Each structure stands twice: as C-alpha cells, then as structure tokens.
Structure 1
C-alpha cells in the first residue's frame, strides 16, 4: 500500500474518460509515472526527438531519429493499448499504459516522415485520463487530408480511446470489438466515517471557502457536489461535441447514446465506425487504398 496516496490522487476526484469497469485496472496501473517532462523508451534510455544514443535500438538508417512505430508497406502503425494517461514518458506503450505524450510525438514524426504514406492507429484500449485527450484528438483531426489516417481496432476503442479513433479518417472494428462509451466519470471518495470509527480526527485549515472542496476527510457538501458535476458536464459536452464533429453526427445522436458501448456492427449502425473487419483485413484494405 506504499503507493496508495498517489494512486488515489490519480484515480479519484479527477475526470476520467474510461469504462467504469476498468477503474480497478487504472488503480493497479497508475503508479508514479506522471509529471515526467522527458520521453524515455521502454529500456530506460532517454529518447530525444532530434537526436539519439548509439546504444539505443531503433529501426531505420543511421540518420533517422528513434521512433515508436513500425513502418509496414509505407504505413506507420502506432499502437494505442491499455490505459491512456497524459504523461507516461515513453514513445511506446509500457506497463499496460499508453501516454498521450508518446502518441503525439509518434503522430508528429509519422506526419513528417517521407517514408510514411499513411498512418494506422492500432487501438485496443478502455480509455483513460481526460487530461490531454481532446487536445490530441484535435491534433489528429487537424491533419486529415495530409495523409490517410485510419483507426484499426484490434479489439475495442472505448471512451478516451474512442475520442482518438473518432479523429481518424476511418474506423474499422472487428466483430467482437467495440466502440463508444462517450462519457466522463469522476469517482469522489471520502473516509470520514471510517476515520471516525478508527478514532481519527482530521483538522483542516483553509483560506478560501472552496479550497477544501472534494477532500477525502469530510462529506461532500451540496455546493461542492454541484460544482464538480458542472465540471463533469462541461467535459462531457466537449466529448460529445468532439465526436459529433469528427464523425459528422449530430450532437443529439451522440449525446443520446448515454455513454453506451456498441459491439461490432452496432457501432457502424450508430455511426461510430465505418466497417466491420478483422485487423489484418482492415490493414489490407488500407494498402489497397494506397494502391499497393
């Protein structure tokens, strides 16, 4: 339980765009890998966008910078797997997580890479943190027309992962994969009763009436509850607007899903995906579009 305070800070009292059933996964996965300004590869070696270490492994000629994606027949395949977090500090998925920082770096490199003719996000994720998600989605959406950008689901793209997928030109989902969960959740926790039972009293000194809102030692007041719900509503509206824009759907349709998840063809019917194919078939379809 050494990391419990830090884990609780990342999981509770903060907006998440993730499947509620995956909350336990987030608790297990989110440790102390946040606030990292530098990017590191999984082997622990620092990765710089404009330089590289002779000891660092990367594919490509000696004058190429290290990258977190493979190029297959001219397609940059960028993996998006596990829980999504704002700052993981690696350019590849690591320890069951993928960072928006690494995805942004990989996407930027792939867009500028003359060897890359198209980009495929290989997605299998329940979602994750709201922080950084919509900025990344806007960046991907803003590059439409530069190169073909596909979201090829190797299983599912839910919540924050779906926000990323929706920004792509095309979304292909397998029969047993899923899309959707367009919503935001925040789990506020307080231990006041447990502390009282244990004979523990926590005294809070504050400057500013709202400074201690949401602390875990006192019950949540009505004013604080309303303020937090308003924040969640605003983020939810941003999510709905983003997906509606990306998928050319009305906000009413997206909002009407009420964060429902859709299996395979059901996602195509609602407008959350374009086709149902196995990942390898979807990749071949992308190559056909490229004339290969």
Structure 2
C-alpha cells in the first residue's frame, strides 16, 4: 500500500466527503500512515476492525460488473443494458487513476469522463445511467467532470440512480443529471467541503525527533504536519473552503435549475437528506425502486426521458426552490392520502383588495398548497390545507415550516454508515435487473 500517496491525498487538501466516512478512513488507515494511533478533537471513536478495511467488488445495479470490460473483450468500458450505458460511480472518488474502480474501493473522475465520452460517441447508446453509491472524495477534478455531465445532457438523456448514497462529491456529479432517482433509504446532500490537518509534533517530541523546516517564502510551510496549526493559517484555510462551498452550490444550481438554486443549496449547511425529505428539499426528483425506474428509462423511446421532471411516482419535483434545513433520518411516511380537492380550498373572491389575484392564480396557488400539505403528511407532518389557504400562507413558507419541523425531530446532523461486509452472494437487485434484461432480449 502506498501510504505516502494516500497521506498526500487526505491531509492538507480540500475534500468533498461525508465527515463520518473521512473519520472512518482515518480510524482505520491513520495508524498505518502515521505509525501510531491517532486522536480526533472532540470525538471518541471505537478501535477499527481490520476486517472492515476490505471492500468487496460490486457489480452495477443494472448490468454486469464493469471490471470485465476493457480487459481484452473489445467491448465498451461500461455495462450496456437495453441501449443504456451504465456508468458506476462508487466508493471514494479521486481525480486521477485511469481505470481503477470498484474492486479497489476507488473510482476516478478520469475513468468516469472516459466512459462518458465513449457513451456519447457510441451511436448504439440511447441514454446514460449514473449508478451512484459514494460518500464523496477529492475536490480536484470534480467540478470539471460535473460540467461534462451537464453538457452530455444536451446530446443524450442522463439520469442518476442513487442506491444508496450520493454525498459531497458524489452529489456534485448526481446533481448534473436530468433527473435524480433515490431509493427509499437513499441519502444525498452534504453540500460542503472539509480539510484535515495532522499534527505530529507531539509524537515527534515523545520520540526525541526534531524536524527543522527551512523555507523561502513566508507561507511555504503553512499547515505542515510537524508543527501545531496556527490560527491564522486555520482561518485562511477555512476561507478557501468557504469559497469552494460557494462553487459547490453554484455547480449544483447549474445542474438542478429551478429545482434548487445556489442559496437554497447553501442553506442546507451540508446536511444529509433521506428519501422523500430529499425530494421535498429539491435535492432529488423522485423516490422509487432504482431497478424499476431504470427499466422505465431503458424502455423510453430514443432521445426521450420516460418521466417528466414532475415524476408520477411517490412525490413530484418542486417548482419553487425551498429553503431546506439540515435533516437526517426523517420519520417514516405515515400518511399517503391524496391532496384535498382544490375547489374546496379556494375562498370566495373578494373585491376589497385592488391587488387581489385572479381566480386562476388563486386556484393554482391553492393546488400547490394542497400538494405541499400532502407531501408533508407523507413525511409525518400534519398541516390543514384549508386553513393554510384561508390564512394566505404561501407554498414556500409551508415548505420551510415542514423542513424546520423535520429538523427539530432529528437527533443528528449527519448519517453514519458502515461499509458493507464482503459477500459472495449476488445482490437480489442485481439479479432482478439481469433477469429483466435477459427476458426482454
């Protein structure tokens, strides 16, 4: 294992990665890199289990394992199912690495870009599916790849299928697709940037080792691991990370359009959203079984998306970008009733106000209020639609109220997920997708 290269990619460089995943990495590999146990400020982590360090090779949800492609078979560098190129974006994301992939636990932006270009140039490919399960990774290269994915939408339809994570850099890429389909337990978001600094000065003192840094240029040795991090350097790094967070939000807004603007993306404060809460906040378009949604995508006519951005399944996309709060592990849906009849909500017209809305505008706003209330009910938040219309509450205000209520119920600001244990048994989802593809041929 190349510990020096790993350390260079982890420390003193901005990362778009879920903090829990970063800490799990450091707890497992940190001692190997530094040669001793490491500590985390304000955190008490259990010792790492060496068995967890091995990541299993994983096949795409919708086709064959990508590892068999490009190894002398002469086939494309991605799985192809019913004319759809399936590009897997899994594990830790790194800038360069050519064809490193699932068996190593890493996926490179370089490899994804090559697969994307090949799919665009192949006349037999009708669309592109991004099969995403990643906690994020390096900042370097992520935004350039995001631009390429967004540009690819002008040539062929691109959909992102998240099962079960698209966090940080993973969400940068997912947000550039035409649509994001999320599983019921799927988690997306973490629109933020983190950097880690290792302070080895105490360990060196204990060993009687003194490191003398000789530098030309006042900032040449900033954030070096042999000295404690000065507050001035910490503040400068924090400022750089905030600039990257702004770029993150702007890139997401470019991909999501009117479904999520930059201000709303920033207001999540790097929160993680699951299932319908993610759709409600504008971070995803639909909650559905990924395999079923992929079948619909593959069955669509050439050059079209099988569902509009107001998908007909569990929840529809939002026209007005909400102001989401940090939500993790929202409550299970408790009410799936249909929205009340819009006509029963519309109050009688009044001539008292010269600025009164037209009857058509009133009905449209009442319909949107009813939709928000129905969505809220599925998330376990009860709002009287008729009362909301009578009080003149706007849809965007109701969305903010619902998300604030969900935030108060949450016990944590993030999620922690362990790496899946290695297993020789094929996933039932993968088996179902293969069976469906074979039957349709």
- Give me the TM-score of the superposition, normalised by structure 2: 0.57
Q: SS of 1:252's equivalent?
A: helix
Q: What is the aligned partner in structure 2 of residue 56 from structure 1?
A: 72
Q: What is the aligned partner in structure 1 of residue 9 from structure 2?
A: 10
1:278 matched to 2:294: no
1:191 matched to 2:200: yes
From 88, 93, 99, the equivalent of 2:102 is 93
Change (3 A) 1:269 1:146: same
Task: Give the C-alpha shift of residue 206 in structure 1.
Answer: 0.4
- CA distance in structure 2 between the partners assigned to 1:256 and 1:228 by the alignment: 21
Q: Note the 1:1-150 alignment, pairs <5 A.
A: 3-24=2-23, 26=25, 56-59=72-75, 67-90=76-99, 92-150=101-159
Q: SS of 2:77's equivalent?
A: coil
Q: What is the aligned partner in structure 1 of residue 255 from structure 2?
A: 246
Task: Give the C-alpha shift of residue 81 in structure 1.
Answer: 0.9
- CA distance in structure 1 between the partners assigned to 2:128 and 2:269 by the alignment: 30
Unaligned runs of 5+ in 1: 32-40, 48-54, 60-66
Higher deviation after alignment, 218-227 or 277-286: 218-227
Unaligned runs of 5+ in 2: 33-65, 307-441
Q: What is the aligned partner in structure 1 of residue 301 from structure 2?
A: 290
The structure whose Rg is larger is 2
Tell me the C-alpha RMSD between the 2 structures. 2.3
Q: What is the aligned partner in structure 2 of residue 207 from structure 1?
A: 216
Change (3 A) 1:212 1:273: same
- Give me the TM-score of the superposition, normalised by structure 1: 0.85
- CA distance in structure 2 between the partners assigned to 1:7 and 1:191 by the alignment: 16
Q: What is the aligned partner in structure 2 of residue 35 from structure 1?
A: none
- CA distance in structure 2 between the partners assigned to 1:26 and 1:137 by the alignment: 25
Task: Give the C-alpha shift of residue 91 in structure 1.
Answer: 6.5
Q: What is the aligned partner in structure 1 of residue 162 from structure 2?
A: 153
On the 8 A contact 2:100/2:106 being kept in 1, the answer is no
Q: SS of 1:188's equivalent?
A: coil
On the 8 A contact 1:214/1:220 being kept in 2, the answer is yes
Higher deviation after alignment, 68-77 or 101-110: 68-77
Q: What is the aligned partner in structure 2 of residue 51 from structure 1?
A: none
More helix by share: 2
More strand by share: 1
- CA distance in structure 1 between the partners assigned to 2:254 and 2:178 by the alignment: 12
From 165, 169, 193, the equivalent of 2:174 is 165
Q: What is the aligned partner in structure 2 of residue 256 from structure 1?
A: 267
